[in-house]
């Protein structure tokens, strides 16, 4: 088993040995994408041309790569990330959730927890010490690796020299899926698990009840393709047609679910609904998982509550409205505030009929049959 990725920067009691610099806990394009290269879309054009593809909606297409259906926009970055990513010796923490399953919230919670030694989550001060989550979108604090790699990067010799020291610090990054192929749902072994996620990485995932996930995705994607509108039926059927990004979604979910059961020190599986219902317990789980459990003193001082407050939808939405252009540089057409909508469980009931819901529930229950996995019911 690989060493705990956090061991070099935490004490035996699991407390952080010192402040973790913001720049060192996130992945950045310059230190990971490396070298002067063609943009991945050019570099992989010939391979992409050979991949099976299909229309996902009238305005979006997916390609099949490494066992999953990936949106065209994300494919070159996904390929570059899978081929070039090197985990640091100190280990990396990878957040890997299906789209619209609570990724933004998980990024904020994980970032605020990991960076609390440097940035006090309760501080509202200005200047350098101002908390990044009070001035940036969580997707800027923990960017998607696929987006970073798609943007390319140039590694200067100075940066290369610095890698020696930076290799000793851990990072948080995110991607839609870390494992090239999730282990088979029912016949997994611990060897599959070790091979399924990269050595030296631990992974956290947040999954959401698919009916709410689809409603969220529909709202989000329609903001992006304005003035066009994607009919809801296209988004709804994307589950049945394996056209939702990272489909088949049950393989993604079961892959992580199974891994979390076998190697709980390497995969933390969270459900969006559970985090909404009991945020304190789940933030504590995140802190333990990344090797920085809260001390009694921190708990008494209310740091967990401060993190929850800082990462609340209302707070993040307000920060996103004031976000710098950094995020827009990476994902030009996505307005920062579009990642925050209602943040409630059961919104699907406002859009779909009970018959549609029943058919979807039955379909998914069959996929998850025998796995021990089920979605958490409404609050």
Ligand X SMILES: Nc1ncnc2c1ncn2[C@@H]1O[C@H](COP(=O)(O)OS(=O)(=O)O)[C@@H](OP(=O)(O)O)[C@H]1O
Binding site for ligand X (CB under 6 A): 97, 99-105, 212, 216, 219-220, 311-313, 316, 339-343, 347
Minimal distance, residue 248 CB to ligand X, in Å: 17
Q: Which is nearer to ligand X, 14 or 343 (CB)?
A: 343
In terms of C-beta density within 10 A (0-12 exposed, 13-18 middle, 19 or more buried), how is residue 338 classed? Answer: middle
Give the H or E element holding residue 94: strand 92-96
Nearer to ligand X, 340 or 373 (CB): 340
- Residue 223 sits at φ, ψ, to 5 deg, of -65, -35
One-character DSSP codes across 278-335: -HHHHHHHHHHHTT-PPPHHHHHTTHHHHHHHHTSHHHHHHHHHT--THHHHHSTTS-
Q: How far is the CB of 279 from ligand X (least distance, A)?
A: 9
Compare residues 169 and 282 and give the one whose CB is closer to ligand X: 282
Q: How far is the CB of 24 from ligand X (least distance, A)?
A: 23
**Which CB sits closer to ligand X, 60 or 97?**
97
CB 327 → ligand X: shortest distance, Å? 12
Angle at 215 between CA 214 and CA 218, to 5 degrees: 85
Helix axes 354-368, 249-262, angle to 10 degrees: 50
CA distance 293 to 6: 11
In the bound state with ligand X, the residue whose beta carbon lies nearer, of 294 and 340, is: 340
Cα(68)–Cα(99) distance, integer angstroms: 13
Provide, rounded to whole angstroms, the least separation between the CB of residue 46 and ligand X.
30
In terms of CB distance, is 179 or 282 closer to ligand X?
282
Return the half-sphere exposure (C-beta side, CA atoms, 13 A cut-off) of residue 165.
6
CB of 307 to ligand X, least distance (A): 11
Q: 109: which residues sit within 8 A by CB, 6+ positions away?
A: 275, 282, 283, 286, 307, 308, 311
- The SS3 call for residue 173 is strand
Nearer to ligand X, 44 or 144 (CB): 144
């Amino acid at each position: 088993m690989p060493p705990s990725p956090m061991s070099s920067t935490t004490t035996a009691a699991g407390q952080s040995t010192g402040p973790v610099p913001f720049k060192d806990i996130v992945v950045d394009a310059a230190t990971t994408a490396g070298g002067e290269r063609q943009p991945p879309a050019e570099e992989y054009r010939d391979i992409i041309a050979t991949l099976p593809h299909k229309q996902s909606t009238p305005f979006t297409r997916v390609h099949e790569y490494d066992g999953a259906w990936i949106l065209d926009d994300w494919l070159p970055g996904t390929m570059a990330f899978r081929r070039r990513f090197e985990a640091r010796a100190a280990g990396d923490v990878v957040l890997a959730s299906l789209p619209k399953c609570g990724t933004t919230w998980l990024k904020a919670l994980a970032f605020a927890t990991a960076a609390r030694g440097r940035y006090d989550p309760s501080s509202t001060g200005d200047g350098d010490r101002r908390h990044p989550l009070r001035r940036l979108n969580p997707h800027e604090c923990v960017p998607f690796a696929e987006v970073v790699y798609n943007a390319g990067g140039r590694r200067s010799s100075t940066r290369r020299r610095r890698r020696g020291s930076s290799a000793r610090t851990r990072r948080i990054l995110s991607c839609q899926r870390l494992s090239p192929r999730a282990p088979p749902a029912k016949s997994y072994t611990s060897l599959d698990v070790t091979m399924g996620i990269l050595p030296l990485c631990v992974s956290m995932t947040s999954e959401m009840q698919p009916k709410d996930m689809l409603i969220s995705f529909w709202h989000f994607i329609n903001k992006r393709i304005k003035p066009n509108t994607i009919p809801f039926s296209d988004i709804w059927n994307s589950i049945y047609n394996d056209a939702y990004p990272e489909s088949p979604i049950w393989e993604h979910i079961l892959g992580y679910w199974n891994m979390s059961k076998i190697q709980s020190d390497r995969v933390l599986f969270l459900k969006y609904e559970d985090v909404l219902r009991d945020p304190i317990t789940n933030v504590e789980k995140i802190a333990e998982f990344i090797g920085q459990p809260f001390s009694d003193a921190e708990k008494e001082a209310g740091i967990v509550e401060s993190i929850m407050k800082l990462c609340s939808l209302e707070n993040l939405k307000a920060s996103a409205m004031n976000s710098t252009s950094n995020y827009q540089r990476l994902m030009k057409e996505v307005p920062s505030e579009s990642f925050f909508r209602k943040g409630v469980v059961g919104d699907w009931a406002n859009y779909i009929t009970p018959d549609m819901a029943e058919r979807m529930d039955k379909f998914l229950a069959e996929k998850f049959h025998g796995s021990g996995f089920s979605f958490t019911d409404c609050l």
